[in-house]
Amino acid sequence: MESTTQGKFYIQTFGCQMNERDSETLAGMLTDLGYGPCGDKAEADVVILNTCSVRENADKRFFGILGQLKKYREERSDMVVAVCGCMMQQQHVIDTLKAKYPWVDLVFGTHNIHQFPQLFQNVVQERRKIVEIWEDGGAIVEGLPAKHLYDFKAFVNIMYGCNNFCTYCIVPYTRGRERSRRPEEIVEEAKRLARSGVKEITLLGQNVNSYGVSRYEGGYCAADEKGPDFAGLLYLLNEIEGIERIRFMTSHPKDLSDRLIGAFADCEKLCRHIHLPVQSGSTEVLRRMNRRYTREQYLELVSRLKDAVPDIALTTDIIVGFPGETEAQFEDTLDLARKVEYDSAFTFLYSVRKGTPAEKYGDQVPEEVKHQRFNRLVDVIHGIQAVKNKACEGRIEKVLVEGPSKTDPRTLGGRNDANKTVNFSGPRELTGQIVDVRITEGKTFSLWGEVAGRPSPCPQKGSKSGPAPGKEGEHE
């Protein structure tokens, strides 16, 4: 490992937690090469934009920011601009980069992130442009470094790719087929994180419920090896000393097993929150989305979850204005949201993704109708959220403290069991600790409270509240 500082890096991440975790790997690699992080791309020697192709907005923002970088790159011949992530797995994006952004130094994709140190050094030493994209995921590469955003909580990938081919989604084309990491590698990583002081891990996969299901060459298959499925993996991780909270995302409703529901009851470290993307409350829209469950099946699943874990917090993703969505079908979505009583939801306007089946659907919903429906849905979701948060007043929540607020250093912020943001006054030394907080005010988007007890070493069970609007969701 290099010990001298070679320069400064700046990484901007678009999209989901999988991308955030990839950026942590890139930060770890650059740290090993002797680079240190900086907070301003104008000052950086290396700028990496880690892209997302799931929604049109992220595409547009990427090209906007890339355009801004041009002047820095022209002023400094030693600067390296690299772009990676899901967008780079699409040929039309590569063609655009070559034609309009020829000054970009390094382009790589989701499947060859492990090659980054070598590619980067080649760019630096030979001052030549490199475009290296792999079509396929290949074997999982273990042992890559990572520089986590927090010392006390971390993302842990358990699988890569997706086999579901929802008709609106580009992920199976950009992230490849499902392949699972070996359970012993995951357990070892969690133990390593625990030894370094990490209290909370979030297990990541496009659909964690199908962990170990796929037979992918070089990947782990639970049936072939008679090893743990996703629920089994949770039981293994629940035993690790030092890990106090376990979260996961994302769960496809069609694959959610009774064993997983049972794990919520058995594993005291498993946070009682599940993100269960519904996407639509209409069976016909779900069929056109190729989601492979009906409205009734989803509601039945929610009812089983609530029966088994009465205080479970439920969050979701909903797409508004999918092609062909009628007013009645949209109202089915409003009705489902009211029935489930989501603690929060990530709502998205449908946007056409090049290369997906839904791109060819002729019956696109007009933009003004989409926006109008979107606003109505958000009103319903926020109304439910406000009521649920109000009901938290007076409760004592266990909060993993993330640190002082940017705007007021006397206010600490953290997350409770349900992943809800909780703000309270306290010394910054509480950062990284789990603290009992009495909730004094439940607002629509966060809870506010006061310290009710000393930092707790125990995993939390029994606190009830709604999860926060935060950076989560099936994709972004």
**317 DSSP β-pair partners:** 346
CB 468 within 8 A of CB 419: yes
Q: Binding to ligand SF4 by residue 166, rule CB under 6 A? A: yes
Q: Binding to ligand SF4 by residue 89, rule CB under 6 A? A: no
Restricting to residues 230-289, name those near ligand SF4 by CB under 6 A. Answer: 252
Nearer to ligand SF4, 97 or 318 (CB): 318
Give the binding range for ligand SF4 (CB under 6 A) out of 158-166, 361-369, 380-388, 437-445: 158-166
Give the binding range for ligand SF4 (CB under 6 A) out of 164-172, 280-288, 321-329, 350-358: 164-172
CB of 317 to ligand SF4, least distance (A): 8
Q: Binding to ligand SF4 by residue 169, rule CB under 6 A? A: yes
Interacting residue with ligand SF4 among 50, 51, 174, 206 (CB under 6 A): 206
Nearer to ligand SF4, 172 or 227 (CB): 172
Interacting residue with ligand SF4 among 104, 162, 302, 377 (CB under 6 A): 162
Q: Binding to ligand SF4 by residue 344, rule CB under 6 A? A: no
- Using CB under 6 A, count the residues that bind ligand SF4: 11
Pairing status of strand 313-320 against strand 245-249 = unpaired
Nearer to ligand SF4, 169 or 267 (CB): 169
Restricting to residues 446-475, name those near ligand SF4 by CB under 6 A. Answer: 474
CB of 289 to ligand SF4, least distance (A): 8
Q: Binding to ligand SF4 by residue 207, rule CB under 6 A? A: yes
CB of 161 to ligand SF4, least distance (A): 9
Give the binding range for ligand SF4 (CB under 6 A) out of 166-174, 180-188, 321-329, 395-403: 166-174
Q: Binding to ligand SF4 by residue 172, rule CB under 6 A? A: yes
Q: Binding to ligand SF4 by residue 171, rule CB under 6 A? A: yes
Nearer to ligand SF4, 79 or 289 (CB): 289
Nearer to ligand SF4, 417 or 474 (CB): 474
Nearer to ligand SF4, 112 or 210 (CB): 210
**322: closest CA among 356, 283, 355, 352?**
352
Nearer to ligand SF4, 108 or 293 (CB): 293
Q: Binding to ligand SF4 by residue 208, rule CB under 6 A? A: no
Nearer to ligand SF4, 162 or 186 (CB): 162
Q: Binding to ligand SF4 by residue 318, rule CB under 6 A? A: no
CB of 205 to ligand SF4, least distance (A): 9
Q: Which residues bind ligand SF4 (CB under 6 A)?
A: 162, 164-166, 169, 171-172, 206-207, 252, 474
